[in-house]
Amino acid sequence: MKFFVDTADIAEIRDLAATGLLDGVTTNPSLVAKTGRRFTDLVAEICDVVPGPVSAEVAATDFDTMLKEAHLLTRIADNVAVKVPLTPDGLKVCRSLTADGRMVNVTLCFSAAQAILAAKAGATFVSPFVGRLDDIGTDGMELIADIVAIYRQYPAFGTEVLVASVRHPMHVVEAARLGAQVATVPPAVLRQLFRHPLTDSGLDRFLDDWRKTGQTILPGAGDGR
């Protein structure tokens, strides 16, 4: 499974990219607004930090304006994935861009039927929002299971399932179990994946036992030299 981080905070992106675990970045207008940065400048900086796909979303809703915005975004860097809404005009833009070899992330997917349309339009990624479905009393992971199962029936579909609106580590684990190719995760949730109380207690015990030996591994460590 590929890990994308869902943020526009460049400091967070740099820190997580340093782990070597980051495969891409997703942004949206809400995340960009929090930074106070100029959108295109921020996208360019993120693309310099992360070589994988960086999703940058159009702001328009009509075909002509969306396509113009998309062409501007693709000129920022080769690894920009243009993010378009799952609407008729959005899918028209998707088809146009993918025909030119550009990456497209079709966002705001809430049904398997919509995911089929995104794949038919040639989307690179489709982004089902599991957390928002959970919020209205629907099991968001059931949608992931449906989309993955449908896509497996049609090898010609090259669209990857990008699980979005991830709220906790079990969303990531379940998405991986179901076979989704990508999860885009907020920085806080991505860091939670490292944690387990038995890891912490085990490390504390090992360090305590090591201190009792009075030894050091590096010459001069701990003796003031």
Q: Is 216 among the domain residues?
A: no
Query: Which tokens go with 161?
Result: 């399932």
The predicted pLDDT at position 225 comes to 45
Structural domain of residue 122, as residue ranges? Answer: 2-207
CATH number for position 115: 3.20.20.70
Contacts of 102 (CB under 8 A, 6+ apart): 70, 74, 80, 81, 82
Q: Is 221 among the domain residues?
A: no
- Check if 92 is active-site: no
Q: Is 123 among the domain residues?
A: yes
What's the pTM?
0.92
The predicted pLDDT at position 222 comes to 61
The predicted pLDDT at position 98 comes to 97
Q: Is 27 among the domain residues?
A: yes
- Residues of the chain with confidence (pLDDT) below 70: 221-225
Query: pLDDT tens across 96-107, in order?
Result: 999 999 999 999
Q: Is 153 among the domain residues?
A: yes
Q: Give the total number of structural domains in the chain.
A: 1
Please identify which of the residues 2, 34, 68, 83 carries the catalytic annotation.
83
22-40 b/e with 16+ CB inside 10 Å = b?
Answer: bbbbbbbeebbeeeeeebe
Q: Is 212 among the domain residues?
A: no
Q: Is 90 among the domain residues?
A: yes
The predicted pLDDT at position 185 comes to 97
Q: Is 174 among the domain residues?
A: yes
